């Protein structure tokens, strides 16, 4: 082939990739700190800072340390945090009764954060798994082989109202019980909390990527055993159309934001949901996604900053308006 060979091409897409300035002009998807929600784990104690073994750089923090962390998060331009409690084992029982204690850990944390950083939005989990001795997201039926849907929803409504009273901006039912979004919306409105929004975990899959999170909140660790099989309420990873059905039900029941969880392995689901609704779409880059990126980077197999950025860019490109991610603070600093 002669060295001066030239193709006669009208269209050369590489023209727009030639320089960084051109690439930035045609960039279709941009991630920014305002896209992130930072999940945080709170424990009793002052001070307390316990690193989670399977999640490098992620800690369980005391209320005082959570308040300090939230101030730093707000300063980075991250608009919201999602708070999760790790309770002492003595406080757990089969019915998750500690969830309805007016002075339970998560409610004291919400009040402290709101007092210190009122501009920061707070998302709280509405589910019983941090509170139950068996690790399920609700109360079990008489046979102890399934979660009782309607009894659980009744408890979740009480939880949501108490969280609204504490000052949360978004209650986030993650339990996947049928009808819980509508029941929670009615309970909030009846109690006068019409401004408290519902961020529904609409398509939450029965995923293998949740292991490190279960360590973080201290829910049952025996993954794969009968008691931790959540397949009767979390979605089958094989199903795609069902995600749209679940999301549309949540929207009809009053969800302000819908969510897909996990994110990275479910980009097609994020896109399906995005195409089917005008509501804001959240996606949760879960603990297992975070852990595997860190593990590969520690082995020298992946470039951590580039992989972290690309993983979040893919979630945003798929259609997510907001991303819950344990990379939130690191990414916000990198983007600055």
Residues annotated as catalytic are: 204, 261
Residue 195's closest CA among 234, 169, 219, 163? 169
Q: Torsion over CA of 131, 117, 174 and 332, rounded to 10 degrees?
A: -120
Residue 271's closest CA among 290, 247, 293? 247
Burial of 9 (0-12, 13-18, 19+ CB in 10 A): exposed
Element (DSSP H or E) covering residue 2: none
Residue 131's closest CA among 102, 168, 101, 170? 101
Distance CA 38, CA 83 (A): 8
**Residue 308 to residues 59, 74, 156, 304, 321, Cα–Cα distance (Å):** 19, 21, 34, 6, 18
């Amino acid at each position: 082939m002669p060295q001066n060979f030239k193709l006669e091409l009208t269209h050369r897409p590489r023209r727009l990739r030639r320089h960084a300035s051109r690439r930035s002009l045609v960039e279709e998807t941009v991630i920014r700190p305002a896209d992130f929600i930072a999940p945080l784990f709170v424990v009793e104690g002052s001070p307390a800072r316990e690193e989670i073994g399977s999640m490098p750089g992620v800690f369980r923090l005391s209320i005082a340390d959570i308040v300090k962390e939230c101030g730093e998060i707000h300063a980075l331009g991250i608009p919201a945090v999602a708070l999760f409690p790790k309770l002492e084992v003595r406080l757990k029982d089969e019915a998750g009764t500690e969830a309805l204690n007016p002075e339970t850990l998560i409610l004291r944390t919400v009040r402290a954060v709101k007092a210190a950083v009122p501009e920061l939005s707070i998302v709280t989990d509405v589910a019983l798994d941090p509170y139950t001795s068996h690790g399920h997201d609700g109360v079990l039926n008489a046979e102890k082989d399934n979660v009782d849907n309607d009894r659980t929803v009744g408890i979740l409504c009480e939880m949501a109202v108490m969280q609204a009273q504490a000052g949360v901006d978004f209650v986030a039912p993650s339990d996947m019980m049928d009808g819980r979004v509508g029941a929670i919306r009615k309970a909030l409105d009846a109690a006068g909390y019409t401004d408290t929004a519902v961020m529904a975990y609409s398509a939450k899959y029965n995923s293998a990527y949740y292991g490190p999170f279960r360590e973080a909140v201290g829910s049952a660790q025996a993954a794969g055993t009968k008691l931790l099989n959540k397949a009767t309420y979390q979605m089958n990873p094989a199903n795609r159309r069902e995600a749209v059905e679940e999301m549309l039900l949540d929207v009809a029941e009053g969800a302000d934001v819908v969510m897909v969880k996990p994110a990275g392995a479910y980009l097609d689901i994020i896109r399906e949901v995005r195409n089917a609704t005008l509501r804001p779409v959240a996606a949760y880059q879960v603990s297992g996604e975070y852990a595997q990126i860190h593990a590969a980077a520690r082995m020298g197999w992946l470039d951590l900053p580039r992989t972290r950025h690309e993983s979040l860019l893919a979630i945003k490109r798929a259609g997510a308006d907001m991303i819950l991610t344990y990379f939130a603070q690191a990414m916000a600093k990198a983007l600055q």
